[in-house]
Each structure stands twice: as C-alpha cells, then as structure tokens.
Structure 1
Amino acid sequence: MSLNLPRELIDAKKADGNDDVYVVSSGKQALKFDETKTNTVRTLAISYPAGTNEISIYGTRVVPEFPISILVLVIALIPTIFFSRKMIR
C-alpha cells in the first residue's frame, strides 16, 4: 500500500527540525515501509501481512482539525461555567 502524507497535515520532525522517522504499526507489530520525501509530501510504501485490518502511522506533529484559538476559548470557558454554576446554587 502506498500513502501520500502531506507535511502540512502530518509530519515527523526532530527537535532540530530535521526529518524523523514515522512509526508504522498494526496492533503491537511494527510494519516495514519504504519512504520517499519532497518538501511538501512524504510517501510511505507499507508492507503488511494478509488479514491486516488496521494500520497506525505515528508522526511527531499533527495539525488539529480545529484552530487552536477555539481550544483556548473552550479551556477558558470551562472554569467560568463551573464557578458561575457554583455561585448560583
């Protein structure tokens, strides 16, 4: 199986900014893969045994599905709601 992974969605980087390796597994078994890279996409050609029904790919950076500002807002509102409900009682 061959997968094109856009770097803006998922990537694996070391602290110094250089590319790190992805971890590809099925259950607890590590899977072998070949990788080709460009500045925008990393392509993984993954070998897996027959009967495999789930493959996990781990990088070091994933872009969240929603903006970080929404997450900050929600985290800020939770204590406000909690304390306002406590004051009303």
Structure 2
Amino acid sequence: MFYTHYVTFGDFPDEYKDIDKARAIIVPVPLEETGTFLSGTRFAPDEIILSSRALEWFDESLEFEPYRKGIATIASPQWERGNVLS
C-alpha cells in the first residue's frame, strides 16, 4: 500500500480546502511555451505550491489568518505540448 499526499497551496487544514466553500482557488498553470529564454517555467507552479508550505499563516496587517476564509487548490490543467488553446 502506498500513501500519497496531494500538496495544496499552503497545505492548510482540510476544512479550509473545500473548493465549494473557498474564497480563493489556486490554479497552477504550467505554461512552458510562453518563456522566451530558458525552459523550465512549467515547473514553477509546483515549486510555488511546495514553497507556500513555509508561509506565515497569520497576516499582521489584516490581523487574522486569511486561509480560514478557504483556499482550494485544483489540479494542473493538462495540455498537449504546443497547444494551450485546446
């Protein structure tokens, strides 16, 4: 048996990840074709989501934890390479 854990933006508690209740929805879009210099931009959304686990949950300027309003992460859309419009 394998245990898999789908990493979501911020990796907040499950009750704040419900897509039907979330006030924000993260859509990781890996667009490699839009880069003009080096390849690898398709990995950016996954890296941003992984790095978001280190975010501070409490926002000092708002004086509350915004994730409590709900932040859902959906799976990356999959396109055929070179055709993002289909």
TM, length-normalised to structure 2 = 0.23
**RCO higher in structure (CA 8 A, sep ≥6):** 2
Structure 1 or 2: larger strand share? 1
TM, length-normalised to structure 1 = 0.23
